[in-house]
Amino acid sequence: MQKRLASIALLIVLFSCVNNENTKTPIAKVHDKFLYKEDIEPLLPDKISKEDSLLFVSSFINKWAKEQLLLQKAKINLDKEEESIQQLVEQYRQDLYINKYKEAIVKQDLDTLVTQVDIDSFYTSNKEIFKLNEELLQLRYIYLGNDVLNPKEFISLFKSDTKESDAKIIEQKLQLKAYNLNDSIWVRYYDVLKKAPFIRSYDKNKFLRKNKYIQKEDSSGVYLVKVKDVLLRNQIAPMSYALPTIKQMILHKRKLELLRKIEETLTEDAIKNKEFQIY
Protein backbone atom coordinates (compact mmCIF):
# COMPACT_ATOMS: atom_id res chain seq x y z
CA MET A 1 0.00 0.00 0.00
CA GLN A 2 2.83 2.42 0.93
CA LYS A 3 4.58 1.72 -2.35
CA ARG A 4 1.38 2.41 -4.21
CA LEU A 5 0.87 5.73 -2.38
CA ALA A 6 4.48 6.67 -3.00
CA SER A 7 4.03 5.99 -6.69
CA ILE A 8 0.92 8.15 -6.78
CA ALA A 9 2.70 10.91 -4.92
CA LEU A 10 5.64 10.76 -7.29
CA LEU A 11 3.31 11.13 -10.22
CA ILE A 12 1.86 14.24 -8.62
CA VAL A 13 5.17 15.79 -7.73
CA LEU A 14 6.67 15.21 -11.17
CA PHE A 15 3.43 16.21 -12.90
CA SER A 16 3.69 13.22 -15.18
CA CYS A 17 -0.04 12.69 -15.47
CA VAL A 18 -1.67 14.01 -18.61
CA ASN A 19 -4.22 16.69 -17.91
CA ASN A 20 -6.09 19.36 -19.82
CA GLU A 21 -8.39 22.26 -19.07
CA ASN A 22 -11.55 20.12 -18.86
CA THR A 23 -10.14 17.06 -17.13
CA LYS A 24 -9.01 16.41 -13.57
CA THR A 25 -6.69 13.58 -12.70
CA PRO A 26 -8.03 11.30 -9.94
CA ILE A 27 -5.47 9.92 -7.48
CA ALA A 28 -7.71 8.30 -4.86
CA LYS A 29 -11.32 7.17 -4.47
CA VAL A 30 -13.55 6.37 -1.50
CA HIS A 31 -16.97 5.06 -2.54
CA ASP A 32 -18.15 7.63 -5.11
CA LYS A 33 -15.85 10.46 -3.93
CA PHE A 34 -12.63 11.26 -5.76
CA LEU A 35 -9.50 13.09 -4.70
CA TYR A 36 -7.77 14.83 -7.60
CA LYS A 37 -4.21 15.78 -8.28
CA GLU A 38 -5.34 19.38 -8.74
CA ASP A 39 -6.70 19.42 -5.17
CA ILE A 40 -3.26 18.72 -3.69
CA GLU A 41 -0.94 20.66 -6.00
CA PRO A 42 -1.75 24.10 -4.48
CA LEU A 43 -1.14 22.71 -0.99
CA LEU A 44 2.42 21.53 -1.60
CA PRO A 45 4.85 23.83 0.27
CA ASP A 46 7.30 25.83 -1.83
CA LYS A 47 10.81 24.48 -2.27
CA ILE A 48 9.92 21.13 -0.74
CA SER A 49 12.22 18.17 -1.45
CA LYS A 50 11.06 15.11 -3.39
CA GLU A 51 11.20 12.94 -0.26
CA ASP A 52 9.18 15.43 1.79
CA SER A 53 6.71 15.78 -1.06
CA LEU A 54 6.12 12.04 -1.04
CA LEU A 55 5.48 12.08 2.72
CA PHE A 56 3.22 15.11 2.47
CA VAL A 57 1.06 13.70 -0.30
CA SER A 58 0.85 10.22 1.22
CA SER A 59 -0.21 11.72 4.53
CA PHE A 60 -2.77 13.95 2.83
CA ILE A 61 -4.32 11.03 0.92
CA ASN A 62 -4.57 8.93 4.08
CA LYS A 63 -6.15 11.79 6.02
CA TRP A 64 -8.62 12.49 3.21
CA ALA A 65 -9.57 8.81 2.96
CA LYS A 66 -10.18 8.49 6.70
CA GLU A 67 -12.38 11.58 6.68
CA GLN A 68 -14.44 10.27 3.76
CA LEU A 69 -14.85 6.85 5.37
CA LEU A 70 -15.95 8.40 8.66
CA LEU A 71 -18.34 10.71 6.82
CA GLN A 72 -19.93 7.84 4.91
CA LYS A 73 -20.30 5.79 8.11
CA ALA A 74 -21.77 8.79 9.92
CA LYS A 75 -24.34 9.38 7.18
CA ILE A 76 -25.48 5.76 7.37
CA ASN A 77 -25.70 5.60 11.15
CA LEU A 78 -27.08 9.09 11.67
CA ASP A 79 -29.63 9.05 8.89
CA LYS A 80 -32.44 9.96 11.31
CA GLU A 81 -30.48 13.01 12.39
CA GLU A 82 -30.17 14.35 8.84
CA GLU A 83 -32.82 17.06 9.21
CA SER A 84 -31.38 18.27 12.52
CA ILE A 85 -27.84 18.31 11.10
CA GLN A 86 -28.99 20.25 8.03
CA GLN A 87 -30.64 22.82 10.29
CA LEU A 88 -27.43 23.20 12.25
CA VAL A 89 -25.42 23.53 9.05
CA GLU A 90 -27.81 26.17 7.70
CA GLN A 91 -27.78 28.06 11.01
CA TYR A 92 -23.97 28.00 11.02
CA ARG A 93 -23.96 29.25 7.42
CA GLN A 94 -26.28 32.12 8.30
CA ASP A 95 -24.27 33.01 11.39
CA LEU A 96 -21.08 32.99 9.35
CA TYR A 97 -22.52 35.42 6.79
CA ILE A 98 -23.93 37.71 9.48
CA ASN A 99 -20.70 37.74 11.51
CA LYS A 100 -18.60 38.45 8.43
CA TYR A 101 -20.90 41.36 7.57
CA LYS A 102 -20.70 42.69 11.12
CA GLU A 103 -16.91 42.46 11.06
CA ALA A 104 -16.86 44.45 7.81
CA ILE A 105 -19.12 47.14 9.32
CA VAL A 106 -17.01 47.41 12.46
CA LYS A 107 -13.78 47.60 10.48
CA GLN A 108 -15.19 50.34 8.26
CA ASP A 109 -17.25 52.48 10.64
CA LEU A 110 -16.07 51.95 14.22
CA ASP A 111 -14.50 55.01 15.82
CA THR A 112 -11.31 53.63 17.37
CA LEU A 113 -10.00 56.93 18.72
CA VAL A 114 -10.14 56.80 22.53
CA THR A 115 -9.35 60.16 24.11
CA GLN A 116 -8.24 60.90 27.65
CA VAL A 117 -11.67 62.44 28.25
CA ASP A 118 -13.28 59.13 27.21
CA ILE A 119 -10.98 57.22 29.54
CA ASP A 120 -11.56 59.54 32.52
CA SER A 121 -15.32 59.45 32.06
CA PHE A 122 -15.51 55.66 31.75
CA TYR A 123 -13.19 55.05 34.69
CA THR A 124 -15.03 57.49 36.96
CA SER A 125 -18.43 56.01 36.09
CA ASN A 126 -17.36 52.37 36.43
CA LYS A 127 -14.84 52.27 39.26
CA GLU A 128 -16.52 49.34 40.98
CA ILE A 129 -15.71 46.98 38.10
CA PHE A 130 -12.01 47.71 38.57
CA LYS A 131 -11.72 46.20 42.03
CA LEU A 132 -8.47 44.30 42.36
CA ASN A 133 -8.36 40.54 42.82
CA GLU A 134 -4.61 40.67 43.54
CA GLU A 135 -2.10 42.94 45.23
CA LEU A 136 -0.27 45.66 43.31
CA LEU A 137 2.96 47.44 44.22
CA GLN A 138 5.04 50.37 43.15
CA LEU A 139 8.66 49.56 43.92
CA ARG A 140 12.28 49.92 42.91
CA TYR A 141 15.03 47.35 43.25
CA ILE A 142 18.57 46.43 42.25
CA TYR A 143 20.33 43.08 42.39
CA LEU A 144 24.10 43.21 42.88
CA GLY A 145 26.28 40.23 42.07
CA ASN A 146 29.19 39.21 44.29
CA ASP A 147 31.59 40.44 41.60
CA VAL A 148 30.54 44.10 41.97
CA LEU A 149 33.58 46.20 42.85
CA ASN A 150 31.75 48.95 44.75
CA PRO A 151 28.68 47.47 46.52
CA LYS A 152 28.65 50.14 49.25
CA GLU A 153 28.45 52.89 46.61
CA PHE A 154 25.45 51.17 44.96
CA ILE A 155 23.71 50.75 48.31
CA SER A 156 24.26 54.43 49.13
CA LEU A 157 23.00 55.58 45.73
CA PHE A 158 19.93 53.31 45.95
CA LYS A 159 19.00 54.65 49.38
CA SER A 160 19.38 58.26 48.17
CA ASP A 161 16.49 57.71 45.74
CA THR A 162 17.04 60.87 43.69
CA LYS A 163 17.20 61.47 39.94
CA GLU A 164 20.92 62.12 40.24
CA SER A 165 21.61 58.93 42.22
CA ASP A 166 19.47 56.86 39.86
CA ALA A 167 21.37 58.29 36.89
CA LYS A 168 24.66 57.20 38.47
CA ILE A 169 23.27 53.70 39.04
CA ILE A 170 22.17 53.45 35.40
CA GLU A 171 25.63 54.58 34.27
CA GLN A 172 26.97 51.43 35.92
CA LYS A 173 24.03 49.14 35.06
CA LEU A 174 26.31 46.59 33.37
CA GLN A 175 27.46 45.58 36.85
CA LEU A 176 23.88 44.81 37.93
CA LYS A 177 22.19 41.43 37.56
CA ALA A 178 18.77 43.10 37.52
CA TYR A 179 17.25 46.47 38.31
CA ASN A 180 14.10 48.58 38.17
CA LEU A 181 14.21 52.20 39.28
CA ASN A 182 10.83 53.25 37.89
CA ASP A 183 8.54 53.15 40.90
CA SER A 184 5.69 54.96 39.13
CA ILE A 185 4.52 51.73 37.48
CA TRP A 186 2.13 49.37 39.28
CA VAL A 187 3.16 45.70 39.16
CA ARG A 188 1.58 42.50 40.41
CA TYR A 189 2.88 41.06 43.67
CA TYR A 190 3.40 37.65 42.06
CA ASP A 191 5.45 39.22 39.27
CA VAL A 192 7.68 40.72 41.96
CA LEU A 193 8.17 37.24 43.45
CA LYS A 194 9.39 36.01 40.06
CA LYS A 195 11.99 38.78 39.90
CA ALA A 196 13.04 38.44 43.53
CA PRO A 197 12.21 34.94 44.84
CA PHE A 198 13.82 35.68 48.19
CA ILE A 199 10.75 37.79 49.07
CA ARG A 200 8.83 34.54 49.56
CA SER A 201 10.70 34.17 52.84
CA TYR A 202 9.08 37.37 54.15
CA ASP A 203 5.66 37.51 55.72
CA LYS A 204 3.43 38.80 52.94
CA ASN A 205 1.47 41.16 55.17
CA LYS A 206 4.66 42.69 56.52
CA PHE A 207 6.19 43.06 53.07
CA LEU A 208 3.15 44.73 51.53
CA ARG A 209 3.63 48.05 53.29
CA LYS A 210 4.36 51.53 52.03
CA ASN A 211 7.97 52.68 52.24
CA LYS A 212 9.17 49.17 53.11
CA TYR A 213 12.94 48.80 52.64
CA ILE A 214 14.66 45.42 52.35
CA GLN A 215 18.32 44.52 51.98
CA LYS A 216 18.91 40.80 51.56
CA GLU A 217 22.15 38.94 50.89
CA ASP A 218 22.42 35.40 49.54
CA SER A 219 25.17 33.27 48.04
CA SER A 220 24.97 35.03 44.66
CA GLY A 221 24.65 38.67 45.67
CA VAL A 222 22.64 41.42 47.36
CA TYR A 223 19.02 42.47 46.77
CA LEU A 224 17.90 46.00 47.57
CA VAL A 225 14.15 46.65 47.48
CA LYS A 226 12.14 49.77 48.30
CA VAL A 227 8.33 49.52 48.23
CA LYS A 228 6.84 52.93 47.49
CA ASP A 229 3.12 52.12 47.59
CA VAL A 230 0.74 49.16 47.87
CA LEU A 231 -2.81 48.38 46.78
CA LEU A 232 -4.57 45.38 48.31
CA ARG A 233 -7.33 43.09 47.07
CA ASN A 234 -10.75 44.73 46.64
CA GLN A 235 -9.23 48.18 46.39
CA ILE A 236 -9.83 50.06 43.13
CA ALA A 237 -7.15 49.59 40.51
CA PRO A 238 -5.43 52.83 39.49
CA MET A 239 -6.34 54.21 36.08
CA SER A 240 -2.82 53.73 34.75
CA TYR A 241 -2.96 50.01 35.54
CA ALA A 242 -6.51 49.54 34.21
CA LEU A 243 -5.87 51.59 31.05
CA PRO A 244 -5.62 48.70 28.53
CA THR A 245 -8.84 47.19 29.91
CA ILE A 246 -10.60 50.56 29.89
CA LYS A 247 -9.76 51.13 26.21
CA GLN A 248 -10.89 47.62 25.31
CA MET A 249 -14.19 48.06 27.14
CA ILE A 250 -14.86 51.46 25.55
CA LEU A 251 -14.30 50.04 22.07
CA HIS A 252 -16.45 47.00 22.83
CA LYS A 253 -19.28 49.26 24.02
CA ARG A 254 -18.98 51.35 20.85
CA LYS A 255 -19.00 48.21 18.74
CA LEU A 256 -22.23 46.94 20.34
CA GLU A 257 -23.86 50.35 19.94
CA LEU A 258 -22.81 50.57 16.28
CA LEU A 259 -24.22 47.12 15.51
CA ARG A 260 -27.44 47.91 17.40
CA LYS A 261 -27.96 51.06 15.31
CA ILE A 262 -27.26 49.16 12.09
CA GLU A 263 -29.83 46.51 13.01
CA GLU A 264 -32.41 49.15 13.91
CA THR A 265 -31.80 51.03 10.65
CA LEU A 266 -32.10 47.84 8.59
CA THR A 267 -35.37 46.94 10.32
CA GLU A 268 -36.84 50.43 9.94
CA ASP A 269 -35.90 50.59 6.25
CA ALA A 270 -37.33 47.14 5.62
CA ILE A 271 -40.65 48.09 7.24
CA LYS A 272 -40.72 51.39 5.36
CA ASN A 273 -40.11 49.61 2.04
CA LYS A 274 -42.58 46.85 2.95
CA GLU A 275 -39.80 44.27 2.78
CA PHE A 276 -40.59 43.23 6.37
CA GLN A 277 -44.19 42.63 7.36
CA ILE A 278 -45.75 40.93 10.36
CA TYR A 279 -49.08 39.18 9.76
Q: Using one digit for the tens of pLDDT, what is the confidence trace for 129-171?
A: 999 999 999 999 999 988 888 889 999 999 999 999 999 999 9
- Would residue 70 count as lying in a domain? yes
Mapped onto helix, strand or coil, the DSSP state of residue 222 is strand
Q: Are residues 219 and 143 in the same domain?
A: yes
Torsion of CA 57, 60, 62, 63, to 10 degrees: 170
Question: Within a domain: residue 33?
Answer: yes
Instruction: Give the confidence band of 22 by pLDDT, cuts at 50, 70, 90.
Output: low
Whether the Cβ atoms of residue 13 and residue 54 lie closer than 8 Å to each other: yes
The reply to whether 11 falls in a domain is yes
Q: Which residues pair with 176 in a beta bridge?
A: 144
Q: Are residues 166 and 202 in the same domain?
A: yes
User: 56 with 174, same domain?
Assistant: no
Do 184 and 267 lie in one domain? The reply is: no
- Which domain range does residue 111 map to? 97-131+241-279
Q: Are residues 116 and 141 in the same domain?
A: no
Closest CA to 153 of 180, 183, 177, 176: 176
In tens, the pLDDT along 180-204 reads: 999 999 999 999 988 888 888 888 9
In-domain check, residue 91: no
Query: Quick one: 210 and 187 in the same domain?
Result: yes
Q: pLDDT tier at 95 (50, 70, 90 boundaries)?
A: very high
The CATH number of residue 214's host domain is: 3.10.50
Q: How confident is the model over 106-128, as pLDDT tens digits?
A: 999 999 999 999 999 999 999 99
User: Is 138:186 a contact under the CB 8 Å cutoff?
Assistant: yes
Q: What's this model's pTM, rounded to 2 decimal places?
A: 0.70
Distance of alpha carbon 207 from its chain centroid, rounded?
A: 33
Whether residue 102 sits in one domain with residue 53:
no
Are both 142 and 270 inside the same structural domain?
no
User: How many structural domains does the chain have?
Assistant: 3
In a domain? residue 209: yes
Phi/psi for 85 (5° steps) reads -65, -40
Amino acid letter, residue 184: S
